[in-house]
Chains A and B, each alone.
Chain A
Amino acid sequence: MSDTLLAEEPRVAPAGTAPAPDDTLFAQILDPANRANPYPLLARLRERPVARQRDGRYAVSTHAEIRSLLFDPRLSSEDLPPSRRPHTGHVLKDWILNPIKDRVATAHRPLIFRDPPAHDALRHLVMQQFTVRRVRGTHDRVTAVVDALIERCRGRDRVCLVEDLSYPLPVAVICELLGVPEADEPQFQAWATQLSTALEPDARRDEDTRRANVASFDAIADYMKRLIAEKRRRPTDDMLSGLANHADPATPKMGDFDLISTAILLLVAGHETTVNLITNGMLTLLRHPLELERLRRDPERAPRVIEELLRYEPPVHFRTRKALGDIAIAGETIPKGAAVMLVLAAASRDPACFPDPDTFDPDRADNQHFGFGGGLHYCVGAPLARIEVEIALVRLCQRLVRPCLARDPPPYRPGAALRGPASLEITIDGIL
């Protein structure tokens, strides 16, 4: 697996044969140097729909193959390349306590790292709380937060979109939905930012990042434990109260460990991705001023614009799975145990599915993008994300006077899986 496999020696193609395909493309995609525009690499990756990489991972990049694998029971989300705990130097801890702790942590991973049937039971409980009423009910709150955040930029000739709006908005919304007191939001934002790096394959290898993640995880788990106890004492109308006070005798309720990991998941997954979608959205609109103008005049276009954004600049570029058995697909056999990278962003620009895939065209028909993933792990927060992004983009287009990119491309955060600008400087002539 990616953590443990040593890089193989580069193979030299014998003279007279076709050049060996580049089996480092995925590594190049991970390279921060290619963060601003990975799309030419994704196009090259698609030349081989299922491509073994030098490190033994398999990169899948075409629409048909990803769709097929998303519904293949031989791909697991559990038991991905393990995160190794550091040696403490204390023999007893290393040999007894930490493995037990690891096992407990593994058994209560959040549902995106679980397979059926455990996944299904957890997801069912979450979906029971993610009600249409609750999601729609965020509309006014989102609008108020967006307008307040924009208002704070009044008098300035420059907006830092990430800092001024993209970051504070999703955390405020998810805290409200979960039932986290407003005063604790800043703390949450810090935890969410740190923990989302855990989804990057390389971050699992970096010891400092890993250590920081463990510390954040412990802190947030501790906080959640107290908050859950509070919700049991004084239930309120929010998702965490609903989960903690589950009363439907027909379905088993969540254990406390699962409750904590689910609450953390909802925070992390709902945060970073939405930040990226809003920032990528504004970046794309500023690069396509005609589309920005059309959206400003006609907010009804927002759903089309957002679906195209999810295809064209998705917040999640790839997800990792593990092959539980040999899988024959597209002329390759992915061997049992291999790590499989589902490069969703590449599939969403597959010319076999999307005519003129590198053109941003909100009017395209039959836009079956993988912006929210697919299969049984399809994003549970998709309806919420759509509401947040729609309101944010429409209000930004309507209220920022003559917005322009101050720097293009913007600097990116290191993440390749959850890809997005670290900051987005926009010059403005005022606020309406």
Chain B
Amino acid sequence: MSPSLDPGIVIVGASLAGLRGAEALRLHGYAGPLAIVGEEPHPPYDRPPLSKHVLAGELAPGATALPNLVPLRATWHLGVAATGLDRPARTLRLGDGRVLPYGRLLIATGAQARPWPGSEEAALDGVFTLRGRDDAAALRAVLAQGPRHVLIVGGGLIGCEAASCCRDLGIDVTLVDPNPTPLARSLGTFVGGVVSGLLERAGVDFRPGVHVELLEGDTFGRLRRAHLRGGETIEADVAIVALGAVRSTGWLAGAGLMADAGGLTCDGACRVLAADGTPCQDIYAAGDVARWPNPHYGGRLIAVEHWGNAVEQAGHAARNMLAAREDQQPYAHLPAFWSSQFGVNIKAVGLTEGADTVAIVQGSRATRRFLAVYGRAGRSIAAVSFDEGRWLPAYAEQIRAGRPFPPIRDATDQTRIATHVPGFPAPRRGRAAPAETGGIHV
């Protein structure tokens, strides 16, 4: 192929990962053609503010556009989804029928909100999911009109942040979750209990251990009430379905890749694996959609649905895309996330999954200002801070190095370290799926 006909690099997903990947390619000296395909009509935007400042009305949905840090000289295909991948022909099929050739491909299609299981119920007026900018804009418009009662299904990060916003707006909220506390799946019930306290103080009607069976509409197709397992009902004109996310891999059906709703499997260097397990030399993935063997966790396949991973993995994949085959660097990312809700800043590093122990190592649960560390088989694997984020980097360092649990003794503001059972719920199953809280899938 002559250089002028080189179709260059195509990035699927005009997302945070897509944008940062494109920038990294240019920063690393890639000068060839670059195309970016995005299903939404919007240029890349930032998601964390959507469930916070946008819902609160402090930030217009359009003001979440991500700054472009490097001149990209890219061709943008926005408002058109990639619908298929033909690897032998090295082409993408687009939703408008076009076929886009690629030389190398970076897949950053992310994830989408897990929809309410009943599609008719999900289509009722007043039933929302919260994932994209348009979702946030629509929900904000409704919240601004002062709904009578908001039901939030799922006490994960998004559910709790939405509840916090609603209370700030003076709106009555019921939050239901099948687990005994919010954030149980990501933080366990021991730490989740602190969040229960935050909900209660803020006046949220929190219903633990509750399953929603049915969303009922009126004759005009507007949400009227929710029916709970056991027969009870909750009157609500707005429902926010916050059941986590599923990976956007449906468009890859038939492409011969290892892909399912849990992600697109990659090798340690972010190269996508073909169905036979061999890495594709010209297809990489990054961000929420990518599932890769994480060296911090024994090489287990992990997909991380958080902001920091999108940025870092995209940069890493871009670097490897431009490197020689023998110079592919493994991607070792320590997952991290943050949330702000009910006036508290929550930050976490590491994976709590499989933790058998948790201890408050600084501060106290009573003051709602503390740092908790999670242990698994005697090693420190994760830490979470409530309004104590300043110390988290020190603990991240310990977790990265696989230090024994608890990792730091003799810290300031540390009393006797008592260990507790973290209290993680059993794995999900069945229809009324519990909330996706940590965004971590194995």
A residues contacting B by CB (< 8 A) are 68, 71-76, 78, 115-117, 324-325, 336, 375-376
Contacts and interface: CB of A to CB of B under 8 A. Distances in A.
Contacts of B363: 116-117
A267 B371 CA distance: 34
30 contacts: A68-B397, A71-B390, A71-B391, A71-B393, A71-B394, A72-B391, A73-B362, A73-B371, A73-B394, A73-B412, A73-B414, A74-B394, A74-B410, A74-B412, A75-B412, A78-B412, A115-B412, A116-B363, A116-B412, A116-B413, A117-B363, A117-B369, A324-B411, A324-B412, A325-B408, A325-B409, A325-B410, A325-B411, A375-B390, A376-B390
B367 interface: yes
Contacts of A68: 393-394, 397
Contacts of B367: 117
Nearest to A326: B410
A72 B411 CA distance: 8
Nearest to A329: B397
A329 to B, nearest CB: 9
Nearest to A117: B413
A336 to B, nearest CB: 6
B374 to A, nearest CB: 17
Contacts of B394: 68, 71-74
Contacts of B393: 68, 71
Contact of A324 (B390, B391, B410): B410
Contacts of B391: 71-73
Contacts of A324: 410-412
Nearest to B409: A325
Nearest to B398: A328
A71 B409 CA distance: 15
Interface in B356-398: 362-363, 367, 369, 371, 390-391, 393-394, 397
Contacts of A117: 363, 367, 369, 413
B410 A336 contact: yes
B413 A74 contact: no
Interface of B: 362-363, 367, 369, 371, 390-391, 393-394, 397, 408-414
A75 B412 CA distance: 7
A45 to B, nearest CB: 23
B369 to A, nearest CB: 8
A76 B411 CA distance: 8
List of 6 A-B pairs having minimum Cβ-Cβ separation, nearest first? A325-B410, A73-B411, A115-B412, A324-B410, A116-B413, A73-B391
Nearest to B362: A73
Contacts of B408: 73-74, 325
A198 to B, nearest CB: 22
B336 to A, nearest CB: 15
Contact of A115 (B369, B390, B409, B413): B413
B412 A76 contact: yes
Contacts of B412: 73-76, 78, 115-116, 324
B61 to A, nearest CB: 30
A73 B409 contact: no
A74 B362 CA distance: 11
A115 B410 CA distance: 13
Contacts of B362: 73, 116
B202 to A, nearest CB: 15
Nearest to A75: B412
A336 B363 CA distance: 21
A390 to B, nearest CB: 29
A274 to B, nearest CB: 26
A64 to B, nearest CB: 12
Nearest to B392: A71
Contacts of B410: 74, 324-325, 336
A71 B408 CA distance: 13
Nearest to B367: A117
Contacts of A73: 362, 371, 391, 394, 408, 411-414
A78 B414 CA distance: 14
B171 to A, nearest CB: 24
Contacts of A375: 390
Given A71-B393, A325-B410, 8 more contacts: A68-B393, A68-B397, A73-B408, A73-B414, A74-B412, A115-B412, A325-B409, A376-B390
Contacts of A376: 390
Contacts of B409: 325
Contacts of B390: 71, 375-376
A74 B391 CA distance: 10
Nearest to B412: A115
Contact of A74 (B369, B371, B411): B411
A72 B410 CA distance: 11
A116 B412 CA distance: 6
A117 B371 CA distance: 13
A376 B393 CA distance: 14
Nearest to A116: B413
A103 to B, nearest CB: 19
Contacts of B413: 73, 115-117
A115 B411 CA distance: 10
B409 to A, nearest CB: 5
B394 to A, nearest CB: 5
Nearest to A71: B393
Nearest to A375: B390
A203 B437 CA distance: 55
A336 B394 CA distance: 17
Contacts of B397: 68
A74 B413 CA distance: 10
